[in-house]
Amino acid sequence: MEKRIKALRDQLHEHNHAYYVLDSPTISDYEFDMLLRELIDLEEAHPEFYDPNSPSRRVGGSVTKKFPTVMHDHPMYSLDNAYDFSELQDWESRLQKVLGNDSISYSCELKYDGASISLTYENGVLVRAVTRGDGIQGDDVTENVKTIPTVPLRLRSELEQRFDIRGEIILPLSGFESMNAERIANGEPPFMNPRNTASGSLKLQDSAVVAQRPLQCFLYQIVTNVPLFETQVQGLEAAIDWGFHVPKHFLEAKNLEEVMSFIKHWETHKNDLPYEIDGVVVKVNSLDAQAALGFTSKSPRWAIAYKFKTERVFTTLNSVDYQVGRTGAITPVANLEPILLGGTIVKRASLHNADQIEKLDLHIGDTVGVEKGGEIIPKITEVNTQKRLLNAQKIQYITHCPDCNTPLVRDSGEAQHYCPNTEGCPTQIMGRIQHFISRKAMDIEGLGGETVALMHKQGLLQSYADLYVLTEAQLLPLERMAEKSVSNVLQGIEESKSIGFERVLFALGIRYVGQTVAKKLARHFKNIGAIASADQESLMAVDEIGTRIAQSVNAFFSNPLNVELVRRLKTYGLQLSMELSAQEPHSSKLKGMSFVISGVFDLFSRDELKDLIESHGGKVTGSLSSKTNYLVAGANMGPSKKVKAEKLNISVIDEDTFSEMISL
């Protein structure tokens, strides 16, 4: 079995590299998933073959409460900047004072706009991943970084020497756009820019959430005590051979003229890339020359970042629209005279909130400066008041909801205005239903935004609870709803009744209660009644639940209409409490005891054994240690497990003995 597990790991490492690094998959997604599923099943059945760098670690699942601060093996310096050719020439003059007047060759690399990371490998295996921090020390985010598919957990070349490789964690533009589209659909504010989103992802506590984000890691610098190569370019080429994701847009330049040609090319073509760059990094190519040049207190003397100028265009502000989210949040959006920016035609720009409009002192017809900068959604950054028309009308933030005409409210300390008409505002009603049926919530197939809008218009849906009383007779007359479509919708609604409590709680659409918060609340309180009756102090006692979230939960359940919705969902059979395995212990018979499960059993599955141990107050761990009390041994248990148990004086019991322990 160990051979099969190792073979699967080797196969999956190679397929990962082919798919994510080479962009040349050798098997289908289905075949890959089947191999991964087999590996996960075998690893669960044989924890004695645990490997922290198994491809199964890509799916995440570990929870990190605190990210320990660790010292870098080699400091991570920042770079000096240049903004024109004369500054590059000044830099070269400083180099020649140390190296002499001989010609200097350079490596030119794109400057990725992401979160800096340092990966450490030992014997060809990833041992840690650390953020830049202050350059001397950073946060250990290894478990989160392991979920990023372009980070090799094991190198394709055996290399005994310990070394660091530096890079950037980036979020490709397509992934950023899809994440924001989903957040907007769920009534959540969009992320501001890919760089900050990538950086924030590294510090999420649940690595399974990180695994769901389409992050990539681009590597650009190998750092060792003893140089392995003669030049920087040789190092990049070796990194590619070892399995690292090094975009091939790098160049060895013989002089500054070739450097500048490279810079001009990418300043013109940067928008052709699927990710963001904000400049070009120029390095002295010779590693011996780098060593001779050394460092200042902050920066390497042998490298400089040529920064592109932020692209800005001017156009006319024609009008302002106001969008209503599912939670009632109002978002102002500027309608612009179409103009080319960053390779795309821009017609709209975010204005964020009333304060931003007031700060810019916007008037209809203003000539406004629009930038993308680090953001996908363009924003207005300035107004040319000298071109303002004498009779230009100052933009006054709306006072009533554009959908239902209800007076807007703005809570103290909040940036956004809200429509409080949660039960009568059509956009909010449809938004909540669309959130409820979404993939990460109740995942009801066959329903989409247009169908929900049609059902609402026909009076069939006023809330998500109404989904569970829909009939075939009501749906068949609707446009584009044939008999098969109706059958699929009703089947999807029925199947959603088995969705677990955590996702049902998320689906309710409580403001500020996203997936992670819903999971924490569900696991802490165990059922909807306990959450509904919890006061603010009790809610804030849950890890990561602050005042704003606690107040929002209290407000939701203090509304009689929401209480009635929840009552109806319970009547229709939705899961509004945790499953038995997550409930409070049946007893405390096993309290304080630690168990390891290994082998195959007749009476129970491994998951059933785990649930029983935990429901009686015990704890299940994946490996034997001096703190383990019992090894529950089944058939086909590896001999090494038994030997280790005997060495540590751990009691080895079978499933019959375990059954007696919990039935006494």
Q: Amino acid identity of 364?
A: I
Mean pLDDT along residues 290-300: 86
Measured CA to CA, the distance from residue 307 to residue 327 in angstroms comes to 40
Token pair of 429 as six digits: 């009603």
The average pLDDT across 92-112 equals 89
Strand ranges of the sheet holding 277-284, from the earlier edge strand across to the other edge? 80-82, 303-307, 277-284, 106-112, 251-253
pLDDT surpasses 70 at 571: yes
pLDDT band, residue 483 (cuts 50/70/90) = confident
- The angle that helices 426-437 and 449-457 make with each other, rounded to 10 degrees, is 130
Instruction: List C-alpha distances in Å: 13 to 8, 9, 46, 145, 168.
Output: 9, 6, 20, 16, 21
Q: What is d(CA 496, CA 575) in angstroms, rounded to the nearest whole number? A: 9
Q: In sequence order, which residues have a C-beta less than 8 Å from that of residue 414 and are 6 or more positions away?
A: none
Which residues pair with residue 594 across a beta bridge?
619
217 bridge partner residues? 169
Q: Could you say which DSSP state residue 245 is in? A: -
pLDDT at 580 over 70: no
pLDDT digits (tens, 9 = 90+) for 15-36: 666 655 555 567 665 676 677 7
- Range from 170-174, 203-207, 527-531 carrying the lowest mean pLDDT: 203-207
Inter-residue contact 370 to 363 (CB < 8 Å): no
Can you list the positions of beta strands (E) in 285-414?
303-307, 312-324, 330-341, 344-350, 367-371, 379-384
End-to-end CA distance of the chain: 36
Helix ranges (H only) for 55-156 are 85-99, 142-145
Residue 136, pLDDT > 90, answer no
Q: What angle do CA 73, 74, 76 make, to 5 degrees?
A: 125
Return the pLDDT at 110.
Answer: 95
Instruction: List Cα–Cα distances, 266 to 114, 261, 269, 347, 481, in angstroms.
Output: 17, 9, 5, 25, 50
Q: Give the per-residue pLDDT at 558.
A: 93
Instruction: Kindly give the pairing relationship between strand 630-633 and strand 651-653.
Output: parallel
CA distance 230 to 356: 53
For domain 501-578, give the CATH number.
Answer: 1.10.150.20
Mean pLDDT, rounded, for 612-639? 82
147: helix, strand or coil: coil
Q: Are 522 and 542 in contact (CB under 8 A)?
A: no
SS (H, E, C) 15-80: HHHHHHHCCCCCCCHHHHHHHHHHHHHHHHHCHHHCCCCCHHHHHCCCECCCCCEEECCCCCCCCE
Supply the pLDDT for residue 541: 86
Give all strands of the β-sheet with 125-131 in edge-to-edge order: 125-131, 115-122, 163-170, 216-223
Confidence of residue 282 (pLDDT cuts 50, 70, 90): very high
Q: What is the pLDDT of residue 95?
A: 92
Phi, psi angle pair for 165, to nearest 5°: -130, 130
Is the per-residue pLDDT at 14 higher than 80? no
Q: Are strands 379-384 and 277-284 parallel, antiparallel or unpaired?
A: unpaired
∠ Cα 522 523 529 (to 5°): 45
Report CA torsion sign: 231, 236, 238, 239.
Answer: positive
Out of 132-146, 181-195, 315-329, 387-401, pick the least confident.
Answer: 181-195
Please count the helices (runs of H) and the strands (runs of E) in the chain.
24, 20
Look at residue 557 and tell me whether its pLDDT is greater than 90: yes
What kind of fold does domain 311-419 have according to CATH? OB fold (Dihydrolipoamide Acetyltransferase, E2P) (2.40.50)
Evaluate whether 187 touches 327 at the Cβ level (below 8 Å).
Answer: yes
For 373-410, write each residue's pLDDT tens digit. Answer: 545 568 888 999 999 988 999 999 999 999 999 999 99
- Using CB atoms within 10 Å of the CB of residue 241, give its burial: 0 to 12 exposed, 13 to 18 middle, 19+ buried: exposed
Helix (H, G, I), strand (E, B) or coil at 108: strand
Question: Tokens in use for 20?
Answer: 């994510």
Max distance between CA atoms of the chain, in angstroms, equals 90
Read off the pLDDT of residues 442-468 as tens digits, 9 standing for 90 and up: 988 778 778 888 888 888 999 999 999
Task: Identify the pLDDT of residue 583.
Answer: 46
| Pick from 21, 24, 26, 78: nearest CA to 248 | 21
Dump pLDDT digits (tens) for 348-369. 888 888 998 999 999 999 999 9
Indicate left, alpha or beta for 77 from its phi (over 0: left) and psi (-120 to 50: alpha): beta
Give yes or no for residue 581 having a pLDDT over 50. Answer: no
Across residues 500-515, what is the average pLDDT?
90
Instruction: Please give the full DSSP string across 341-373, using - where no structure is assigned.
Output: ETTEEEEEEE--SHHHHHHHT-BTT-EEEEE-T
- Give the pair of three-digit tokens for residue 13: 């490492």
- Interval 592-619 mean pLDDT: 79
Residue 607, pLDDT score: 66
Residue range(s) of every CATH 1.10.150.20 domain in the chain: 426-498, 501-578
* Catalytic residue, candidates 3, 65, 111, 641: 111
DSSP 605-616: -HHHHHHHHHHT
Instruction: Domain 2-59: give its CATH superfamily.
Output: Helix hairpin bin (1.10.287.610)
Share of the chain above pLDDT 90, in %: 36
CATH number of 80-307: 3.30.470.30
In the chain, ranges of CATH 3.40.50.10190 domains:
594-663
570 tagged catalytic: no
What average pLDDT does the segment 197-226 reach?
A: 87
Topology of 426-498 in CATH?
Answer: DNA polymerase; domain 1 (1.10.150)
Specify the range with the lowest mean pLDDT, choosing from 49-63, 144-158, 591-605: 49-63
What pLDDT score does 548 carry?
A: 85
Those residues with Cβ within 8 angstroms of residue 78's Cβ, 6 or more apart along the chain or in another chain: 135, 298, 299
pLDDT tier, 559 (very low <50, low <70, confident <90, very high otherwise): very high
pTM of the model: 0.50
Average pLDDT taken over every residue of the chain: 85
- At 232-248, the pLDDT tens digits run 999 999 999 998 999 88
Enumerate residues 6+ apart whose C-beta is below 8 A from 45.
Answer: 599, 600, 606
CATH number of 594-663: 3.40.50.10190
Residue range 641-654: mean pLDDT, rounded:
86
Q: Which residue has the higher pLDDT, 637 or 399?
A: 399
Q: Quote the pLDDT of residue 257.
A: 94
